[in-house]
Structure 1
Amino acid sequence: MNFVDYLFENLQDQDKESILSRDGALTYRDLISQVDALAGDLAESLGRGKECLLLSENTPFFIIAYLAIIKSGNTALLVETQIADEQLASIFRECRIGAVFVQKKYRSKIPDAGSVFTKDHLPAPTPAKKYESPAVNDDDVAVVIFTSGSTGAKKGVMLTHRNLCANTESIVQYLGLTKEDRICATLPFFYCYGASLLHTHLRAGGSIVLSNNIFLAGALRDINTFSCTGFAGVPSTYQILVNKTPFLREKLPTLRYMQQAGGQLPNKYIRQIAEAFPEKQFFVMYGATEATARMSYLPPALVLARLGSIGKGIPGVILEVFNENGDPVKPGETGEITARGSNIMKGYYGDPEGTQGVIKDGRLFTGDLATVDDDGYIFIIGRAKNIIKSGGYRISPNEIEEFICSLDCVSGCVVLGLPDDIMGEAVVAVVQPGDVPEVSLKEKILTQCRQHLPSYKVPRSLYFVKEFPLNASDKVDKQAIAASLRSERQELKGAHEK
């Protein structure tokens, strides 16, 4: 079944608002007629099975183009708006792009070749004229999401119609979404988490509010202005809301639930949010682009009882933690998280070797290390590639980050391993402080670390930042932090040598 047909399969009220923003609203009738018009034009001009690149912020233009590309039997290639010119040029070289849909403000990033469409090129809808989607196989690729790996190189994750339908159905089920739900969307749709917000609310017949504010305090206003029932964020979203806005003092009367994924939110913040909003559901989730979006969730009733856990596999997904011998780990043992289900990607675009490295016997090996408790709830320890190897010890940054972040005077923390001539790698902490002066805070943090952590886990160096750099998905950009620290240390080394 074509994924777009699946999204609108159970729609009952076409006059209901589907997309809202401060610039206006689209009903489902408006949205479907515009998608049909563009899909018909694409089918006529491109045929099917072609690749269409989409470069846009969260706008009605993005949504219409995205759905029309997929409905016409073609493949949408999603790239982040902050993509570097060389990375974009690489995608143009490696992919077979038949058309480009680009928001006007990013038009200069696109080479003058082939068919390039902006909002002005969208055809006028004809409500009475319906476009029938061409037959597709469930295994046909509907979308390719370009995501950065640990090296920073872009990988194209190929997601099929089956992947999208399966993951969307599962998320709608465990979140209990209905046509009455209205999500405040701040996460970009070119990111799998953001895209899942769009997918799930269209499937449920609900509404999506495009909250494109420069500052997150604007999202709080949008929740109230548009009577949103749901909100979603990555760890930095909630850390900024707690530290920089009156979030914890807000009433948010229409909000039914909040969801968090895209990395580990420190337990301190989970507790603060859960205790500030005891009547609202707070879903802690775990996912990956390679798994379409979500793989696990922790029921809100267990958020405090299982603090720090990502829960268990979502409906239709078998999530297991395997040791090096390929056996499920016992409670307290460490292994790698693996997943099986209809949501697992078809593979990496143009990279069969890379695909074989992470998908074995239909099972996705995530690269995330974790343990389980006696009841099978999963607790992430860290990324296998991020484990710090220092003086013969293997150290998880997550444990140190969690401890430092638990201190009252700390807003955020990133722990890295940087090259060291003696230890191999040195443990380094980058801290976003609260209101305490940095001079006194540095000694306080190090004293606490010495008292509560093994000596080999105590940071060798401590740096302070006012704000963490964020990537296009609003996650803390650890690669940028590491690169900056390496450069700074190299400059100091060069100065000393002189």
Structure 2
Amino acid sequence: MFIAEKLKIISEAYPERVITSFNGKELSYGEFYRKAENLAGHFQDLGYVKDDILAFCLMNSDSFLIGYYACQIGGFTALPINTKLTAPEMNYILAHSEAKGLIYDERLASVFDLLEGKLPALQHKMVTNREFEAIIDGERRHAERREALDADTAVVFYTSGTTGRPKGVMLTNRNVAAIAEIWSESMEMDQDDRMHIVAPLFHCAASHVFSIPVIYQGGMVIIEEAFSPEATIRTMEQQRATIFFGVPAMYSILLNTPLLEKAELSNLRLLCYGAAPMPYELVKKVKALFPDVNVQNLYGQTENSPGATTLKDQHALSKIGSVGEPLPQTEVQVMDEFGKPLPTGQVGEIAVKGPQVMKGYLKNEEETARTIKDGWMYSGDLGRFDEDGLLYIVDRKKDMIIRGGENVYPVEVEEVLYAIREVLEAAVVGIPHEIYGEVAKAYIVLKEGNKLTEQAVIDFCKSQLASFKIPAAIEFLDTLPRNASGKVLKTILRDPVNI
């Protein structure tokens, strides 16, 4: 069942049940559906037809989810845009996608003013807190029901663009419904769950792994505009959150926030993490502080909606570094360069097959054909299966360092660096070397009030790593550069001029 249909059914059966909480304001399923249908009807009245692209560049809020569901109700294609992009980056996405409508936060007006007249396909712009609220809260509109097919493009997410131009990932109605089913089953979500979202909703993980799956089951989404450790802890406590998702950096910060130990979080049942490897010591601390709460690691890419594998609580400490087993309805293989599955233990490219695999890249058939072969989506990640059928990511293909013919996987070096008591965050990249071709360089962020020398880091690495894996250079930073989804931007770290 497509997500708009499911929302309508729940809103009619349980109109008073709370669907979202944002800044102290709660919306019921009935109110939410009416607002989304009003917006869908408004754009239909403006002449928008099926498959027209409606972009929205919104901060985390209930408005974001209203906009997303309005697209599904009206038969449009949603295009969430990263709010942190510059005007030229926004211009590229809007021009490439040929979006016909745009809803944006009024705080971003100066960015979109720079694009005036540069987007011939764009027919209408709407600013939140003014036109948006007037329409969704106005006189009841009934959107025309348009036939929705499995293969219709429901949403386009532009990849973060860590290399080259971002690509528009087209996800269908079936993709979105499938990933809602898959993750809600994997996390055992139900109508009593209260999902706490601090990660950006314009990224597909916050929307498709958490928000939409919990709504699909009739639960509630607690939305914060952004992550702030003390505010997040207070919200988690006051709103009685049952599930929380954060990238490892968030957990590292939370665990170093004294308020966490004092908070009353007895409603929590599941702590999820993803987007980057979670060091063993960090998982151990989370489990020690929350012994009765399950933890779950999540792995996937925008191209699979996202969803490929998951590591559940029973393996959290015994299978550290693993991203777990294939999700329901999902096949995962480790392939050689000829597209043949490799045996247990051998490293190859991770490929995924399932109903959540994308339709393709918008206006990019060549890249689509390179990524999807015989129904398998090639992830660009290198991995291996262990004897228990659990998957380990060895590294991104592009991140692997080849030092004098020896492969160095940054994840392995980073795990060692995280074991140093003073280290809060670490990232390892390859830098040019006149003899070895490439060597490893480590960027380190220290915990507040701690000190550490380069020699101390090297000495510790010598006790843990083969000599060719030891970083040849170390640099201490105040923070690591990250994109909006929490991933470290290693392209920036490889070019010191940008730091």
TM-score (norm. length: structure 2): 0.93
Identity %: 27
1:307 to 307, 312, 320: 320
Instruction: Indicate yes or no: 2:46 matched with 1:36.
Output: no
2:178 to 166, 175, 181: 166
* 129-138 vs 338-347, greater mean Cα deviation: 129-138
The 5 Å alignment of 1:24-423 reads 24-45=25-46, 46-110=48-112, 111-112=115-116, 114-119=123-128, 120-122=130-132, 123-125=135-137, 130-196=142-208, 197-213=210-226, 215-247=228-260, 250-423=263-436
Give the Cα–Cα distance (whole angstroms) in 2 for the partners of residues 245 and 476 of structure 1: 26
Instruction: State whether residues 76 and 154 of structure 2, in contact with CA within 8 Å, keep that contact through their aligned partners in structure 1.
Output: yes
Instruction: State whether residues 248 and 273 of structure 1, in contact with CA within 8 Å, keep that contact through their aligned partners in structure 2.
Output: no
Partner of 1:494: none
Q: 1:83 to 1:172 in 2, by over 3 A?
A: same
**Cα shift at 1:2:** 4.5
Give the Cα–Cα distance (whole angstroms) in 2 for the partners of residues 290 and 220 of structure 1: 32
Letter in 2 for 1:90: Y
Letter in 1 for 2:249: S
Cα deviation 1:349-378 (Å, max 9, x = unaligned): 111111111111110111111111111111
Give the Cα–Cα distance (whole angstroms) in 1 for the partners of residues 384 and 38 of structure 2: 50
Q: 1:373 to 1:433 in 2, by over 3 A?
A: same
Give the Cα–Cα distance (whole angstroms) in 1 for the partners of residues 263 and 319 of structure 2: 26
Give the Cα–Cα distance (whole angstroms) in 2 for the partners of residues 455 and 462 of structure 1: 15
Partner of 1:5: 5
Letter in 2 for 1:160: T
Q: 1:288 to 1:214 in 2, by over 3 A?
A: closer
Give the Cα–Cα distance (whole angstroms) in 2 for the partners of residues 93 and 38 of structure 1: 23
Instruction: State whether residues 235 and 475 of structure 1, in contact with CA within 8 Å, keep that contact through their aligned partners in structure 2.
Output: no
Q: 1:124 to 1:458 in 2, by over 3 A?
A: closer
Q: 1:213 to 1:324 in 2, by over 3 A?
A: closer
* Count of aligned pairs between the two proteins: 486
SS at match of 2:100: strand
Give the Cα–Cα distance (whole angstroms) in 1 for the partners of residues 280 and 142 of structure 2: 50
Give the Cα–Cα distance (whole angstroms) in 2 for the partners of residues 20 and 192 of structure 1: 20
Letter in 2 for 1:384: K
SS at match of 2:421: coil
Instruction: State whether residues 430 and 463 of structure 1, in contact with CA within 8 Å, keep that contact through their aligned partners in structure 2.
Output: yes
TM-score (norm. length: structure 1): 0.93
* 292-301 vs 320-329, greater mean Cα deviation: 320-329
Give the Cα–Cα distance (whole angstroms) in 2 for the partners of residues 256 and 159 of structure 1: 30
* 211-220 vs 308-317, greater mean Cα deviation: 211-220
Instruction: State whether residues 33 and 127 of structure 1, in contact with CA within 8 Å, keep that contact through their aligned partners in structure 2.
Output: no
Instruction: State whether residues 317 and 339 of structure 1, in contact with CA within 8 Å, keep that contact through their aligned partners in structure 2.
Output: yes
Give the Cα–Cα distance (whole angstroms) in 1 for the partners of residues 396 and 9 of structure 2: 39
Cα deviation 1:199-250 (Å, max 9, x = unaligned): 0121111111112245222111101111111100122221222234543564
Cα deviation 1:81-117 (Å, max 9, x = unaligned): 0112111111232222211111111123223452111
Letter in 2 for 1:445: V
In structure 1, the gaps of 5 or more residues are: 489-498
Q: 1:351 to 1:42 in 2, by over 3 A?
A: same
In structure 2, the gaps of 5 or more residues are: 118-122
Cα deviation 1:322-371 (Å, max 9, x = unaligned): 23343333332111111000100111111111111111111011111111
